[in-house]
Amino acid sequence: MKKRNLFVLCIVLLMLATVPVVFANGVSETPAVAQKATTLTIGVGQEAVGLDPHIVTAFSSMRRLDLLYSRLVRLDENMKVVPDLAESWEIPNNLTYIFHLKKGVKFHNGREMVAEDVKYSLERVLDPTTASPGRSYISSIKDIEVIDEYTIKLVLSAPLASLLDALTSNNISIVPKEAVEANGNLQRVAVGTGPYMLKEWVVDNSMTLVRNPNYFEKDLPATDTIIFRVIPEEASLYAGVKSGNLDLATINDGATIRQAKNDKNVVVMSKPGMNVRVFSFNNEKKPFDDVRVRQAVALALDRSEILTMAEYGMGQTTGPIPISAKEWAIAPEDLAFGKPDYAKAKQLLAEAGYPNGFSFDIVCSSTYEGGLAVAQVAQSQLKNIGLTANLDVVEWGNYIDRWVKRDFSAMIELRGGSSEPDRFLFRSLHSTGGVNNFMFKDAETDALLELGRAQTVPSERKATYDKLQQVLTEKAPLIFLYSPNENQVLSPLVQGFKQIGNGSLYYVTHAQVIK
């Protein structure tokens, strides 16, 4: 009997040993299960200047549009074209593209998106009165035919090898006609089909986006609420991520990135970028209407030193095509006027009638995109050939206004690049280009741009763009300096985010904070 009681006692004690201990306050010692946060907060250095996808050009606006609107196709993390609103497409010949749309996709106003919306959106972009920067991307479209509610056919006037890549642009987003008509434009509202919907916008402070319950990608977005917080100082963005007040931030300052890379409390993601830092001229204003003066400036600028001083070397010097587009790009040192040559620069200035140099203004802004740090290095370098560059430092809104109005003699810019040369160069440098703010009109350049976009044999296109890069560096309507890295600083708690390489935040859709 005693042995039996002893056996039972042992069993009871063994069972008790497997039961979690409960303290007086009722809290178990059992490890807590990881919890997914419902909000992800993103720090950004600049406020959006508007939200109309067919009008805006600023990167600050584009990053919001990544989450609010959809296009027929988009780029994945490898910069490959993949379906977005179109579930498939066919190309029966090089002048015809037929897109089959996903069914049941809804705009944020609750109405289903159909082929008529695609037709309206493309026609709005093509309408010269819209003044869309995306018009140059798709100007070869001569006819848009709605075959049925979910099928649309595009007919081109000439082959356009870059069409699919062009259709991935936020500038070619699909919008509902009734929203445009009700508001005049979409600069202060958002009615897309994207993963998030606009809830609140406190200008110069924050923008709150909420999950689109009707988003067409299954199980996405992964997080319910996205908050963009405008924090102009890059060091403050880093501090925000480190403290846990921010979950993710786009940080471009090289010194800050170097510091963050040595900090175990944050994660730094870095990828060679497609954007291009440039020194722009207004080619219609003296003295920059003289190609010799522009060439002289090109020979005075040391791209490697600018990259080192302004970006702590975090990027790559580049020519007209982003250096990361390895299939197409020629390195600047292999092109004319790609290396500093002060003697040659002074000779060109003398031939142009400026043996003693001259003084001019460089428009820039203290924001990263506005390029103040680049302007300061260029200012110093230009002294080597007798030029006095005065920095006209303006606030961000004024900078954008001056850029739009072409109100500058010289300007530091950050241009959105692409691995597809036609998409980047045609809109920027063709005489009819939507963002040809350089006022550059050149028959040879136009002819090469038109030829390159119409060619479909890769080797023939390569030869055309090789020639174009040589022509652009010789005529120097602007000076291509470098492509900065794309940097994101994240909390270690953020999972699922991926970089694309063009600055897009689309993969915030996949991100979540696990605490």
pLDDT in tens, 396-449: 889 999 999 999 999 999 998 888 999 999 999 999 998 999 999 999 999 999
Query: Domain tally for the chain?
Result: 3
- The gap from C-alpha 513 to its chain's centroid, in whole angstroms, comes to 24
The pLDDT of 162-187, averaged and rounded, is: 97
Choice among 113-122, 198-207, 248-257, 279-288 with the minimum mean pLDDT = 248-257
Q: State yes or no: pLDDT of 14 exceeds 90.
A: no
Q: Is residue 401 domain-shared with residue 285, that is, in the same domain?
A: yes
- The answer as to whether 38 is a domain residue is no
Phi, psi of 478 (to 5 degrees): -160, 170
Last residue of a domain, one of 143, 177, 211: 177
Q: Give the separation between CA 273 and CA 427, rounded to whole angstroms.
A: 19
Average pLDDT value for the chain: 92
Q: Are residues 351 and 427 in the same domain?
A: yes
Pairing verdict, β 410-415 and 512-513: unpaired
Residues 423, 321 share a domain: yes
Confidence of residue 33 (pLDDT cuts 50, 70, 90): low
24 found inside a domain: no
Residue 480 shares a structural domain with residue 490 = no
**In terms of residues, how long is the chain?**
515
**Is residue 94 pLDDT above 90, yes or no?**
yes
Indicate if 112 and 260 belong to the same structural domain: no
Note whether 380 and 460 are same-domain residues. Answer: yes
Are 108 and 74 part of one and the same domain? yes
Quote the percentage of the chain above a pLDDT of 90.
87
Answer yes or no: is 25 within a domain: no
Q: Same domain, yes or no, for 478 and 495?
A: no
Mean predicted confidence (pLDDT) in 8-21 = 40
| pLDDT reading at 280 higher than 60 | yes
> Do 443 and 492 reside in the same domain of the chain?
no
- Check whether 261 has a pLDDT greater than 90: yes
Whether residue 403 contacts residue 414, with contact meaning beta carbons closer than 8 Å, is answered with no
Q: What is the pLDDT of residues 290-340, one digit of tens each?
A: 999 999 999 999 999 999 999 999 999 999 999 999 999 999 999 999 999
**Same domain as 284, residue 242:** no
Residue 24 has pLDDT above 80, yes or no: no
Question: Are 346 and 227 in the same domain?
Answer: no
| CATH code at position 447 | 3.10.105.10
Q: Identify the domain boundary among 107, 142, 177.
A: 177
CATH number at residue 104: 3.90.76.10
Q: Residue 122's domain spans which residues?
A: 70-177
- Residue 187: inside a domain: no
Q: 404 in a domain, yes or no?
A: yes
CB atoms within 10 A of CB 366: 15
Under DSSP, the state recorded for 22 is B
pLDDT for 15 equals 42
Distance CA 376, CA 358 (A): 17
CATH of the domain at 502: 3.40.190.10
- Does some domain include residue 245? yes
Q: What is the mean pLDDT of residues 442-457?
A: 95
Task: Judge whether 182 lies within some domain.
Answer: no
Q: Are 297 and 433 in a shared domain?
A: yes
